[in-house]
Chain A
Amino acid sequence: MATTTAPNPKVNRLGLQVLDYRGGKTTLCAGCGHNAISERIIDALYEMGVQPERLMKLSGIGCSSKSPAYFLSRAHSFNSVHGRMPSVATGALLANKTMKALGVSGDGDTASIGVGQFIHLMRRNLPLIYIIEDNGVYGLTKGQFSATADLGSKLKTGVINDLPAIDTCALAIQLGATFVGRSFSGDKKQLLAMLKAAIAHKGTVMLDVISPCVTFNDHEGSTKSYKYMQEHEEAITEVGFVPHFEDIAVDYDAGTTYDVQMHDGSHLRLRKLRDDYNPNDRASAVKQLMEAHEKGEVLTGVFYLDTEKPSFTDMLNLVDQPLGTLPESRTRPSKQVLQEIMSKLQ
């Protein structure tokens, strides 16, 4: 028997293998868009060299919210209550602002039952990557419409949706999120670049990722099917990402490309695919989203970016150490303080 030496496994800048970023075996349907998103999350965290123990994964309830079990087993995870992940994430980040946090939600979990908490999460600019795995239907309850389903789209049963869709991206931009984009689970390259940029951002990242449900919403008449996305996806920009630990080798044309330096020193390069594209202009971004709806297009790309606005945890001016593990000497005032208070009450 011939002996061969196994090639050295590929590692990232921390010396970790992709294997170190894996999770449990998925229990979602074969072909589900959510699985592709989990793969891209693994790739992005691996390539960016995020220490798995420094990440918290949070989710609500639904097919999407199961997916944190399928990536990064070495990160603490919290599968919370339907539509209420934003509040749990807020509390967790207040307790430990030094952690990276990634929230996975769905269209029902975000735009229906969770729309209240979603709105206030966006307002606060909490440093959280918030991913909506958006398929327009409730999978676990067998295929009812959600609030992101487009007007006129059709269920398998033939039921037509007669209410307008909530555009979570337009909403997030209006509410103050500082990194807003849309992608497609089938667009490997774009989604990976956007996720890597999301990791480099400090503030709320809101990514709506169209993620077809192969079981309940991938048929003729659906506007969230693989086929519909292949035919109607319109990238507003080409997304390139150069992490801070790599040389910026490739030149770009300043006339056609926005080069944005991210919080960690990485560069996000957004090449215009439309003349009126400007990722710093909220009004224009919302206008383009509205116009795309009228035309039946699904715009993808980074719509809006603000790297200056302070995040929620910055605004609170907290001490550098995590609040959760501060020693008693810093959290319990002295006996003299109590005596001072008591004497004032006498």
Chain B
Amino acid sequence: MIDYIMSCLSLLNRVSEIESSKDIIGRLHCQSSGVICPLHGVMLLNELFEDTATLIVGAPECVYYPQVGTLIRLDNPTLSGIYTYVMDENDVVFGSADGLKIAAQAVLEDPEIAALFLVSSCVFELIGDDLRAISADIANALGKPVFPVHTSNYDHHCPDYFKAIERMLEAIAPVLSKQETIPHSVNLLGRIFHGNAKGSLRQSELGAMLEKNGVTINMEFPSRVRLEHIKQLTAAELNIVTDRVGIRLAKIMQEKYGIPYVLFESTFSHQTIEETYLSIGRFLRVAWQDEVSRLSAHTKERISEVSCIVEGETIIAGCLPPDPFQSVAFLSKLKMKPLVVASACLSRGSEEAIANLLKAGEDPYVIHACEREPMEEALKTLRPRFYVGHAPHEKVSALGIRHIGCFMAEPEHLGFRSIDNFLLRLESAAMQTPAEKGCD
């Protein structure tokens, strides 16, 4: 058994061997599961738009599974607004444009539906039908907006469902038109969609800071909304992009309507949070430097306090957000010993984090985030003191490992408070006696 486990680990690459996302798969050249298809994001976002429909075009299984997901998630799935067009071999050989136009027309005949997202998937993209032209034709014929959304799972630029959400938000930009600016107002663009995360960005530290300093939150987007209200987005003075899914829309709004944006994502870098707050302050003419400095100093102090408690402790970690390599680099900054990091792909900032890890003398194994078996084996064999990530709590605790849920999995985990919150959970887990359960 030990041989088997050790050979399980021997199939993994170490951080020092990761040059591209493909290296994360390891030496078996394939993986026992993968990241869920981008169409999952389409399904999630569709739920937030009250009066639009979504027509997904693809192979039978590509459209079957999102519909099953809708059934599971919604009380009344027949009201979901998701329609599917099932491609067959004829569509592949002769193209699907004609059939798709008829299908879209049938959907848009419903007077309750104000617009349509026309969403492609792998097979459609591969055969090269012109989604944009088909959408334009349908829109012209029916007088309702049709938003083309390109998603294909094999596309390097669309590796996961967050990217599909980003593309849907970008696709909706044509309905925007310039509105009168509300002084001292912001939009919060993008939100965490991990693990069905609920909650509002208004409850975050950022939301509280804005409110306290007299800044109006014009819109939190995406949130449950009707199409006509989306126009109101351009009334804001500044866009604060609180998750990467909102970045493309923010860029378009900057280009077309001159609304600047600031990126304020979940992060373990208190310097980045401080700089971002100050940047927002400059845009909105808010003098919150002292308060921001005070919060930053407090977090810095907490990092140093908790570091003394967890120094030298072993940990296995990997979940979003933030980028797992960045999170593990933060753990090494706390002087912990990361043994394994789980990630699905490299993202912006991963390279720097990897360099920092190696500089700190740490070279943990890398497991693909969706590979359950190697992670279970790693937990059993390496027996770290702590584990951060998704897993049944009882199973992890039974191994004598302290399980600390996720890093920052809620929308309100934004700002210094998100770091403080994690440190608090780590600290309380460290203080636990082995017999105690439930650190999260």
Tell whether A pairs with B.
Answer: no
